[in-house]
Amino acid sequence: MAEVNAGMVKELRERTGAGMMDCKKALNEVNGDMEKAIDYLREKGLAAAAKKSGRITAEGLVDSYIHGVGRIGVLVEVNCETDFVAKTDQFKALVRDIAMQIAASKPEYIRREEVPADIIAREKDVLAAQAANEGKPEKIIRKMVEGRIEKYYKEVCLLEQPFIKDPDISINQLLTGSISKIGENISVRRFVRFELGEGLQKRSDDFAAEVASATKC
């Protein structure tokens, strides 16, 4: 039987919105097969978000967020299933939160599957060299690189970043929760982030802290 680890439980929970113990049980029941575990939860009526994950999302909103008197600007498209939901205050608030997240945390991609393989390979090489320079043995180096790559994904992938208003959940978990509450499939399709003077030599400011602070006002 395949070993069910915490990462598998976490992934299944994020994809389905089901409880942690239900996810663990489902994975154990199907010998660790992720897709079968999703089907298992759906059959049991526990996968609220997974039931909707295949639905077409052709409606939604394109929203903008401008921070710091024009210093940072974000455009983001978030999709849902119906125009009715797109006009609700709950959906608009979600889109605004996502736009603010992008402004604060500077993601480069929406999900980890979008990160080019050559970039991951280069990151692994650099991380392995760093670990080797620290005098770590080969077995430890492999584990350290895996852990640091996971951290890298959380830094550059929007869906894996901690939500700035509640760092205990990821943006993916925020979406999953919203899908369950709103009752429609929701997806982030694309975004663009502009920062004044980006790429030019300038003083360093903690924009993330500013945006995070603004959300508490």
Considering the domain architecture, whether residues 203 and 175 belong to the same structural domain is answered as yes
Position 178 in a domain = yes
Output the pLDDT for position 48: 57
- Percent of the chain exceeding pLDDT 90 equals 41
Output the pLDDT for position 201: 67
Considering the domain architecture, whether residues 132 and 102 belong to the same structural domain is answered as no
Instruction: Give dist(CA 111, CA 172) in Å, integer.
Output: 9
Position 105 in a domain = yes
Residue 137 sits in a domain whose CATH number is 1.10.286
Q: What is the pLDDT of residues 69-118, one digit of tens each?
A: 889 999 999 999 899 999 999 999 999 999 999 999 999 999 999 999 99
Average pLDDT, integer, range 58-63: 92
The strand pairing partners of 24, in sequence order, are none
DSSP letter, residue 157: B
Considering the domain architecture, whether residues 28 and 131 belong to the same structural domain is answered as no
Position 90 in a domain = yes
Burial of residue 29 (CB within 10 Å: 0-12, 13-18, 19+) is middle
Whether the Cβ atoms of residue 9 and residue 23 lie closer than 8 Å to each other: yes
Instruction: Give dist(CA 29, CA 178) in Å, integer.
Output: 28
Considering the domain architecture, whether residues 201 and 167 belong to the same structural domain is answered as yes
Sign of the C-alpha dihedral computed for residues 136, 141, 145 and 148 taken in this order: negative
More confident residue, 80 or 206: 80
DSSP letter string, 41-75: HHHTT--TTGGGTTS---EEEEEEEEETTTTEEEE
Domain around 69: 59-111+157-214
Whether the Cβ atoms of residue 171 and residue 111 lie closer than 8 Å to each other: no
Residue 64's nearest CA partner among 198, 212, 192, 156 is 192
Residues 6+ positions from 71 with CB-CB distance below 8 Å: 195, 196, 207
Residue 42 sits in a domain whose CATH number is 1.10.8.10
Whether the Cβ atoms of residue 81 and residue 106 lie closer than 8 Å to each other: no
Considering the domain architecture, whether residues 63 and 107 belong to the same structural domain is answered as yes
Position 1 in a domain = no
Instruction: Give dist(CA 14, CA 20) in Å, integer.
Output: 10
The amino acid that residue 58 corresponds to is: A
Q: What is the pLDDT of residues 109-160, one digit of tens each?
A: 999 999 999 999 998 998 888 888 888 888 888 888 888 899 999 999 999 9
Output the pLDDT for position 139: 81
Average pLDDT, integer, range 3-20: 80
